[in-house]
Amino acid sequence: MSECMNFTEGEFYQRHFDSRAYVKNFYSCPRGHSDENDFLTFVLKCLSRVFSTGEHRGQRLVDVGSGPSIHSVLSACEHYDEIVLSDFADNNRIEIEKWLKNQEGCLNWKPILQHICELEGKSPSDLEASLKQRVKKVLKCDVRLENPFYPHTLEPADCVITSLCLEAACKDIQTYRRALHGLTKLLRPGGLLVMVGVLGETFYKVDEQSFSCLKLSQYDIEKVLRGLGLSIHEFNLLPVEDQKSNSVSDFEAVFHLVARKPSD
């Protein structure tokens, strides 16, 4: 049973989401939150494995629903010339901008940068500089819209990444399907879609504030992607070992998938 009586859509995030508490709770070290079974370590390793070889590269990468975070694009950033980060909530975009401009009091991403660089044999300062140089825009997005970046129209992307966004933004499977359709339209033919998310989750907490989540199965996600014509190249799972010990969420597994839009 969800701890949220009504589904907490974007407007709720705008009013109640504490960006700094979220990063402190879930991204202050490479393990992630201590209740969540090395959630973040798994995600960072999967993203590194996909992108660090340089096999996937191109002109433009779009991260849809970045939150206040930059972790999703760290392994990919050196292989794309232009990066767009985005979120619905103003505070999340403000925190990203503060980090990009190295403003006083900005969020500390050094532990995550260091972890990625240990995996990939890179310099944290070089990787940080590379990402900051490549991020061209930080835009408002709403995945419930046919064009999530309305009124902006983005040039087709070689890669779209989305992490922990759609299941938090979409109140039902129909909205989820429309949102994924909107993401596929951002991709050029043959473009890459990389998703990170959770299965079986109905809520998560930032400090004492609960946010609702669309409960999804692997079957649900694969059915939607295939229905949109995408080919799924990998679907990786990290199941929860002890769900009862988790006080901040009720997910059953974290997933990472790679899919491709058909070429014309």
- Report how far apart, in Å, the C-alpha atoms of 47 and of each of 61, 116, 127, 180, 207 are: 14, 10, 15, 20, 27
User: Which DSSP string do the residues of 135-148 spell out, in sequence order?
Assistant: EEEEEE--TTSSST
Task: Please indicate if the annotation marks 35 as binding a ligand.
Answer: no
Task: Please indicate if the annotation marks 176 as binding a ligand.
Answer: no
Q: Counting runs of H as helices and runs of E as strands, what totals does the chain give?
A: 9, 9
Burial of 113 (0-12, 13-18, 19+ CB in 10 A): buried
Q: Tell the residue number behind the tokens 């006083």, with chain if given.
A: 104
Can you tell me whether residue 108 is helix, strand or coil?
Answer: coil
Task: Please indicate if the annotation marks 204 as binding a ligand.
Answer: no
Task: Please indicate if the annotation marks 22 as binding a ligand.
Answer: yes
Q: Tell the residue number behind the tokens 């890669």, with chain if given.
A: 159
Which residues lie closer than 8 Å to 121 by C-beta, 6 or more apart?
none
Task: Please indicate if the annotation marks 54 as binding a ligand.
Answer: no
Task: Please indicate if the annotation marks 81 as binding a ligand.
Answer: no
User: Annotated binding site, which residues?
Assistant: 22, 27, 65-66, 87, 92, 142-143
Which residues line the annotated binding site for S-adenosyl-L-methionine?
A: 22, 27, 65-66, 87, 92, 142-143
